Amino acid sequence: MKHTTHGLFHSSFAPSRPVFLCLWILLFGSSSWSGYCGNLSWQYARERAQQVGQLNYDLALQFQPNADTFQGKLTLTFQLKKAAPHLFLDFDGEQVTSVLLAGEPLPGWRFQKEDGKILLPTIHLSPGTYQLVITFVAPYGLNGVGLHHYQTPSGFEYLYTDLQPDAANRVFPCFDQPDLRASFKLSLLMPPRWEVSANELCTSRHRQGELDLLTFAPTKPIATYLFNLVAGDYAVFYNDNASLPMRLLCRQELTPYLNSTNVFETTTRAIQFFTDYFGVPYPFSKYDTCFIPQYNSAAMENPGSVTVNEVFILGFDPSESDLIDREQILIHEAAHMWFGNLVTMTWWNDLWLNESFASFMETQALRHQGRETWMLTNREKISAQQEDSLETTHPIVTQVMETAVVRANFDKITYQKGMAVLEQLAMYVGAEAFRQGIQAY
């Protein structure tokens, strides 16, 4: 994730410099996270990871136009590794209508709405593989967290997910922690006029009643916070020259402002550079870049479906500085496809390495393209030094005891100071030795 912002970007788009986004942050801070009842402790996450594994989420979601909620059916397959009195599924939704185990109601299950949890009594279950079927109702988010819903005065609807660090459970019941990676198989019922981007390719689409039924290929194992869904009245641009399926999505109203050629070229160069640098082919089946409204951050690296704040469409006459800012963001998220998505942190105390490494790699890619980066890196180091001088500073590596405090670590210490430490390490061991070490990792 590229976190140049923490606040909501409420206004409709106007062609302007990205600096306006940063101003919004200073004014509104992290208010979007108020009211979120879910919170996962590091201790329980460790215990739960010892209890369950081999996860597969088969998720069916149904969307109606002009609605406040959506319906879902989750078929969750998991391995119970050792006997336990109970398990908790995270779910900060509206309603759970049924929980079935092997086709029968699971005795004693309970939706604890005030805690954002579903209690699953497992005291009578021996270690083995089980399948739960859960039907539920969830509300759309209106603050950029979970599955956000935005409707324009002209009636266009736009949905997108923003799930880091642990808001996937606002969309569907899950074990919402990064080390419990899982394969996701998604199907959607949605209005026929809507377009969609998810982590994987759509394999079929046909009319079912008044809605369209879409199915998607199963993902590779990914963390729950990396699940992505962008759906609605988006306009779609295709890159016919790419070696893998590549698209851009943006609001209908913004199509005149989007320079798709520039975005496609930046992304394509970044993917080629990282493929060569890491010595590992691009690890997913496609690459969508989705410019979305009312986003809380600059961008997010969801596998195969990157989301970017629509302010970075930039408008008709962007400056060279504007273009470099956007390049940074697009390259940063491309780096995450390997470091963050293919390789994922076990817990949020390693957020610094996830983010500072992507920041470090974005400068390497820019230099490879002939960009002069010393002013850029010095500016970021100076801003990190300024934040490091405040009473609110903290170590680069912090012990995160619960997910409620993760957002506080999306700052210049985690990103820019961490990036400076990695640059120092690369200079100490040598650029080629550093690259070989990363390839081995």
Tokens describing residue 364: 């390497």
What pLDDT shows up at residue 28?
Answer: 31
Radius of gyration of the chain (CA): 21
CB 220 within 8 A of CB 283: yes
Q: What per-residue confidence (pLDDT) applies to 255?
A: 96
When the pLDDT of each residue in the chain is averaged and rounded to a whole number, the result is 89
Helical packing angle, 351-368 and 418-429, nearest 10°: 60
Q: pLDDT tens digits, residue range 239-290?
A: 998 899 999 999 999 999 999 999 999 999 999 999 999 999 999 999 999 9
Residue 37 has pLDDT above 60, yes or no: no
Give first-to-last CA distance, the chain, whole Å: 21
289 and 337 in contact (C-beta within 8 Å)? no
* Global pTM value: 0.90
Domain segments of the chain: what residues? 19-35+235-440, 42-142+160-229
Confidence category of residue 24, pLDDT binned at 50, 70, 90: very low
Residue 375 pLDDT greater than 80, yes or no: no
Q: What is the amino acid identity at position 376?
A: L
Question: What's the mean pLDDT in 284-302?
Answer: 97
Residue (of 277, 248, 421, 260) closest to 337 by Cα position: 277
- pLDDT exceeds cutoff 50 at 56: yes
pLDDT at 315: 84
* 8-22 per-position pLDDT tens digit: 333 333 334 444 344
Largest CA distance in the chain: 65
| Measured CA distances, 329 to 47, 72, 79, 375 (Å) | 36, 33, 38, 17
In the set 157, 301, 333, 380, the catalytic residue is 333
pLDDT in tens, 78-89: 999 998 889 999
Q: What is the pLDDT of residue 414?
A: 85
Active site annotation includes 362: no
pLDDT tens digit sequence for 317-373: 888 889 989 999 999 999 999 999 999 999 999 998 899 999 999 999 988 887 766
User: At residue 381, what are phi and psi to the nearest 5 degrees?
Assistant: -65, -40
The whole-angstrom separation of Cα 16 and Cα 19 is: 8
Q: What architecture is the 19-35+235-440 domain classified under in CATH? A: Orthogonal Bundle (1.10)
Question: Is residue 36 scored above 50 in pLDDT?
Answer: no
Q: Among candidates 65, 57, 60, which has minimal Cα distance to 89? A: 57
> Would you call 306 helix, strand, or coil by DSSP?
strand
**DSSP β-bridge partners for residue 287:** 246
Fold (CATH) for 42-142+160-229: Immunoglobulin-like (2.60.40)
